Structure 1
């Protein structure tokens, strides 16, 4: 949290952010644990927000969820901007929080095609730029995009028409890593694509189908355990937000997830 942030206000926003990505909601104890804050300080905030209709309390399960007040506010906001602009704003939020570049990509044949990227002031130069491609079975982005594929489907993608993989790349091993992504929702790379560049990525789903992937680029000279953990957490929150917006949008996904969709934002 930035030094200029007001602690109580930040906690309210933390609660909103936490509940906005949970369909089942959370109990007071769970919220306090997830925010690493005492229940005594969290409870008055929850009570006030519930009284104003911004969150709901299920008295049978004691779980808090998003309320109508926030839903109506979000609906008004959503109607003002496009899905592409929402994704851009969310990626910029991640960049501001982590201090690193955030990238968005889709599969194009056997490659990841990067569509959009947001950068911090101290931008790191690497190949994960809009319009660039990287082989889908090597990096974190590709493993996130391909995590639902079976081994025979991957074989068809990467070896049809005489296709070959780099000598150090083992498709079976990559498939095992993709299966782990399907279970955990997070994929990693540790310099396999570019030296000194790590990446953490997560799939974005619509109707349980992976349509894109969101990633955070972590240069090795700036990474530490705290930053890596924060990146993973923020990535999970952001992908859930984007999925929620996509689930109620009537925009054409084939037009959203293109390079043209992110021009002139």
Structure 2
């Protein structure tokens, strides 16, 4: 199919990737050479390069017309590989907990202003949490969501949640950012979070963090069980299991200073 018959958006994507491939083949290149190589006008090439420069994918050598790729594409690729490893590593640890408890385990991470479930191991009980991989849930009413938010400063939390409406899923659901921040103070001290029937009536969830090699919380591992099967004296052991899993995954990702509850 000829380029001129392509929709404008598709044509633009092809041009962007053409520029990326050309810059990947040559460390730095001028607009004239790049435009000739891609059979684009200099003005169009310049416009694309400036946009890519603004987004951080391209750098310019001073005031010259020489351009090159930054490390941003490498960073994105590295994150993608890290998450593939994350699911594999987490599955091993989650399976250990599942065998000991027969309860539902989730792996979730931050996506915008929600959590998204990357992996799940179902409970063997008929009465269990119903969810699916790829499902999203609020940050403010879930154990994993609180774990993820605990890694951010107050101004960052307000920015993440600026468009979020605090829906009262149950009578126990937190009602605003101020209440949530009080809860997050406890999460930071104890290094785990709880959802005590805040998302669904009759459901209790506990979560522990997973860190990347830079000490940034990138995910949470949680266990979910009905309140009729939960006894308060179980909490320390469930926390220990989750933090052990979180520590083991974090160490495999390069982080060796995992905090645990006292």
TM range (shorter): 0.5 to 0.7
After the TM superposition, which residues 1-265 of structure 1 pair with which residues of structure 2 at under 5 Å, given as runs?
Answer: 83-160=86-163, 163-166=164-167, 169-206=175-212, 207-247=214-254
Query: Is the 2:148–2:219 Cα contact (8 Å) retained in structure 1?
Result: yes
Q: Is the 8 A contact 1:103 1:128 kept in 2?
A: no
Counterparts of 1:205 and 1:83, CA distance in 2 = 10
Larger radius of gyration: 2
Give how far 1:123 is off: 5.0
1:246/1:137 CA distance change after superposition, 3 Å: same
Do the aligned partners of residues 180 and 192 (structure 1) sit closer, same or farther apart at CA in structure 2, a change above 3 Å counting?
Answer: same
Shift of 1:216: 0.6
* C-alpha contact (below 8 Å) 1:147/1:182 kept by paired residues: yes
Which aligned segments of 4 or more residues in structure 1 are displaced greater than 6 angstroms? none
Q: CA RMSD in A?
A: 2.0
Contact 2:90/2:107 (CA < 8 Å) preserved in 1?
no
- CA deviation after TM superposition for structure 1 residue 242, in Å: 0.6
- Rounded Cα–Cα distance in structure 2 between residues aligned with 1:133 and 1:140: 13
Aligned to 1:212, the other structure's residue is in SS state strand
- What is aligned with 2:6? none
In structure 2, runs of 5+ residues without a counterpart are 1-83, 169-173, 256-262
- Residue 179 of structure 1 and its aligned partner are, at CA, apart by 2.1
Task: Name the SS for the 2:166 alignment partner.
Answer: coil
The CA distance in 2 between the partners of 1:101 and 1:114, in whole Å, is 12
1:105 CA displacement: 0.1
1:27 corresponding residue in structure 2: none
Question: Following the alignment from structure 2 to structure 1, what is the Cα–Cα distance between the partners of residues 221 and 119?
Answer: 10
Q: 2:103·2:225 contact (CA, 8 Å) conserved in 1?
A: yes
What is the CA-CA distance between 1:124 and the residue it aligns to? 4.0
> Any stretches of 5+ residues in structure 1 without a counterpart?
1-80, 249-265
CA distance in 2 between counterparts of 1:181 and 1:94 reads 21
What whole-Å deviation, never above 9, does each CA across 1:71-128 have from its counterpart, x for those lacking one? Answer: xxxxxxxxxx955333212101111112211110001111110111112321544354
Q: State the shift of 1:140 in Å.
A: 0.9
Distance in 2 of aligned mates of 1:151 and 1:166: 21
Q: Tell me, in whole angstroms, the C-alpha distance in 2 between the residues paired with 1:244 and 1:121.
A: 29
Contact 1:151 1:172 in 2 (8 A): no
- Count of paired positions: 166
Report which stretch shifted further, 133-142 or 221-230.
221-230
Aligned to 2:68: none
Q: Is the 8 A contact 1:116 1:130 kept in 2?
A: yes
Contact 1:148/1:178 (<8 A) preserved: no
Q: Is the 8 A contact 1:188 1:201 kept in 2?
A: yes
